[in-house]
Amino acid sequence: MSMTRRDLAGLAGAAVLASATEATAATPGKGGNVTPTPAQQKLIDAAREVRQRAYAPYSHFLVGAALETEDGTVFKGCNVENLSYGATICAERNAVFQAVAAGHKKFKAIAVVGDLPAPITPCGMCRQVLGEFGGQTEVICTNLKKEVMVSTVGALLPAAFDFDPGKYK
């Protein structure tokens, strides 16, 4: 397996990611206080739209995600639950897999929306999947109250799984 994906993922860019952490305007789970840029708002709107298509008959917890690729293409994903719970997929991974299937591997940003008291953040599995393609990918977390928290994949997943974690020490 090629390790060049690490160059893309940038998970080794600890300094970059640390600065991103410091730049994060809100702490996950503590609410958001960021006014989104027009570009971020466009992604948020797309995530809110696709959230309505979520298939969540068991949890009734609808989530939408909109992923913008390097060339500006937007892929939308919603959570799709299954009677066999483990077969459920999150909105974020749904969007990533659609993008990859269409030939994209470089992402600028992903917006995620769910109905929580604070901006929803991607689960650990989705963070790992997003990290595969870039620690610098911006993560725009929001809720139906339009609270927004902006972070990066790398900041949300420090010490991500890596085949060779010592390589970058």
Which residues does 59 contact at the CB level (< 8 Å), separation at least 6? 81
**Binding flags for Zn ion, 20-59, as an x/- string (CB under 5 A):** ----------------------------------------
| Shortest Å distance, C-beta 16 to Zn ion | 24
Q: What is the DSSP string of 113-142?
A: EESSSS-----HHHHHHHHTT-TT-EEEEE
**Which helix H or strand E contains 150, and what residues bound it?**
strand 148-152
Q: Which of 90/95 has CB closer to Zn ion?
A: 90
Q: Is 92 a catalytic residue?
A: yes
Q: Which of 9/78 has CB closer to Zn ion?
A: 78
**CA distances to 6, 156, 163 from 28, in Å:** 26, 9, 27
| Shortest Å distance, C-beta 96 to Zn ion | 10
Binding segment (CB under 5 A) for Zn ion, from list 66-74, 118-126, 151-159, 160-168: 118-126
* 123 lies in the binding site for Zn ion (CB under 5 A): yes
CA distance 31 to 27: 7
Residues 163 and 3 sit within 8 Å (Cβ to Cβ): yes
What the block records as the tokens of 67 is 């992923």
**Binding flags for Zn ion, 90-109, as an x/- string (CB under 5 A):** x-------------------
Q: Which of 92, 132, 138, 147 is catalytic?
A: 92
| Shortest Å distance, C-beta 111 to Zn ion | 14
Largest CA distance in the chain: 46
| Shortest Å distance, C-beta 93 to Zn ion | 6
Contact residues: Zn ion, CB under 5 A: 90, 123, 126
The residues annotated with a catalytic role in the active site are 92
